[in-house]
Amino acid sequence: MGYVTNSAILPVLIGKGGLIISDSLNHNSIVNGARGSGATIRVFQHNTPSHLEKVLREQIAEGQPRTHRPWKKIIVVVEGIYSMEGELCKLPEIVAICKKYKAYVYLDEAHSIGAVGKSGRGVCELLGVDTADVDIMMGTFTKSFGSCGGYIAGSKELIQYLKYTCPAHLYATSISPPAAQQIISAIKVILGEDGSSRGAQKLARIRKNSNFFRSELQKMGFEVLGDNDSPVMPIMLYNPAKIPAFSRECLKQNVAVVTVAFPATPLLLARARICLSASHTKEDLLKALEVISQVGDLVGIKYFPAEPKKQQQQQQQKQGKGTIKLE
């Protein structure tokens, strides 16, 4: 799975005398992988390229702790779509900075591969970044591909090196044939190599579903994190006591939601994470929105004023009548 891919690959890529610069909201698997590598770890403010540049400049100037020798290797680790924020990575700016300071880029595409981009090729395609500029691309087969396992994409030399040294490859059991075939078939569908337009239709539908659901939740007055086109939508709950209340009340009305609390998020930043897929129909979305809206009122998590649809229409009608009278 993706967790093992991150936590097993990072210690193989870098070790003592190396520097890992990690986004402050990177997934736990990246954090554990970085800690296990023995490299020095520095963190930059979430999705802030200017702070990344500041950290890079400081670290290159200072060098290794105590000896102040140059770093053997510098890897900048970011995610394509942040799993708990639903935000897209500012990849073009980050890649430009890494090129400038000759650092390697490690991109975790667990939530973005097969879900965003015109042909489902992830954030590089969506944001117009050349994949040759990203040194290591990691992803999981457990989300868009509906199977198990994870992957690393990179140069031929890198992959050859990992085959000989990565414990997750050397000591693990091979992926089962049905799981492997599921991945191959899913890739063919996404790329349109199955002879149909199913992949393109699904990609268009997931984008449409995501943007519709996000805008409707915001109109209702919920605080929704993330960017447009992202299928991950965190609804902020904040109060830890509201986590089970929101989840159970939704479940009573046959809507299952995923709630996320400490330690996956900070103690007072609890949230419900909505992940949409292309198989959700318009009826599913409307039913879910209706239930979430009712439960939101009950639990008290609509932190912004809702858009008053009926009142707006009435006011417009009155204004329209008013103008007629004036004329």
Q: Is residue 272 part of a domain?
A: yes
Q: Is residue 314 part of a domain?
A: no
Element (H, E) at 238: strand 232-238
Domain boundary among 151, 170, 191: 191
Which CATH number belongs to the domain containing residue 202 in this structure? Answer: 3.90.1150.10
Q: Is residue 313 part of a domain?
A: no
Phi, psi of 63 (to 5 degrees): 75, -160
Specify the pLDDT at position 308.
77
Task: Note the helical H segments in the chain.
Answer: 2-13, 28-37, 49-62, 91-100, 123-127, 156-165, 167-170, 177-191, 198-220, 242-252, 282-299, 309-326
Torsion of the alpha carbons at 81, 85, 90 and 94, rounded to the nearest 10:
-90
Counting the structural domains of the chain, the total is 2
Q: Is residue 288 part of a domain?
A: yes
Looking up tokens 């009926």 gives 310
Q: Is residue 249 part of a domain?
A: yes
Same domain, 170 and 215: no
Domain boundary among 163, 191, 219: 191
> Of the candidates 75, 159, 162, 149, which has an alpha carbon nearest to the alpha carbon of residue 110?
149
Which CATH number belongs to the domain containing residue 159 in this structure? Answer: 3.40.640.10
- What are the C-alpha distances in Å from 238 to residues 250, 276, 303? 17, 22, 10
Provide the domain limits for residue 248.
Answer: 197-307
Same domain, 39 and 169: yes
> Of the candidates 244, 277, 286, which has an alpha carbon nearest to the alpha carbon of residue 261?
244
Specify the pLDDT at position 154.
96
- Count of C-beta atoms within a 10 Å radius of residue 17: 15
Same domain, 178 and 202: no
Same domain, 217 and 97: no
Same domain, 10 and 47: yes
Same domain, 186 and 201: no
Specify the pLDDT at position 324.
43
Same domain, 150 and 259: no
Same domain, 236 and 262: yes
Instruction: Check if the beta carbon of residue 224 is closer than 8 Å to that of residue 234.
Output: yes
Sign of CA dihedral 202, 229, 290, 224: positive
Phi, psi of 272 (to 5 degrees): -105, 130
Mean pLDDT by 10 residues, the chain (327 residues): 91 96 96 96 97 97 95 96 94 97 96 92 95 96 92 96 92 91 95 91 94 95 93 94 95 94 91 93 95 95 83 57 45
Question: How do 258-260 and 270-275 pair as beta strands?
Answer: antiparallel
Domain boundary among 156, 191, 226: 191
Residue count (the chain): 327
Specify the pLDDT at position 326.
42
Specify the pLDDT at position 139.
95
Same domain, 29 and 154: yes
Same domain, 144 and 278: no
Same domain, 159 and 274: no
Specify the pLDDT at position 310.
58
- In the chain, the amino acid numbered 26 is N
Element (H, E) at 107: strand 104-108
Alpha-carbon gap, residue 25 to 271, rounded angstroms = 15
Alpha-carbon gap, residue 208 to 203, rounded angstroms = 9
Specify the pLDDT at position 174.
87
Q: Is residue 322 part of a domain?
A: no
Q: What is the pTM of this model?
A: 0.90
Q: Omega of the bond prior to 70 within 30 degrees of 0, cis?
A: no
> Of the candidates 158, 178, 162, which has an alpha carbon nearest to the alpha carbon of residue 170?
162
Alpha-carbon gap, residue 47 to 107, rounded angstroms = 13
Specify the pLDDT at position 22.
97
Alpha-carbon gap, residue 316 to 58, rounded angstroms = 57
Alpha-carbon gap, residue 142 to 145, rounded angstroms = 6
> Of the candidates 83, 109, 117, 116, which has an alpha carbon nearest to the alpha carbon of residue 233?
83
Q: Is residue 256 part of a domain?
A: yes
Q: Is residue 300 part of a domain?
A: yes
Same domain, 51 and 161: yes
Specify the pLDDT at position 315.
58
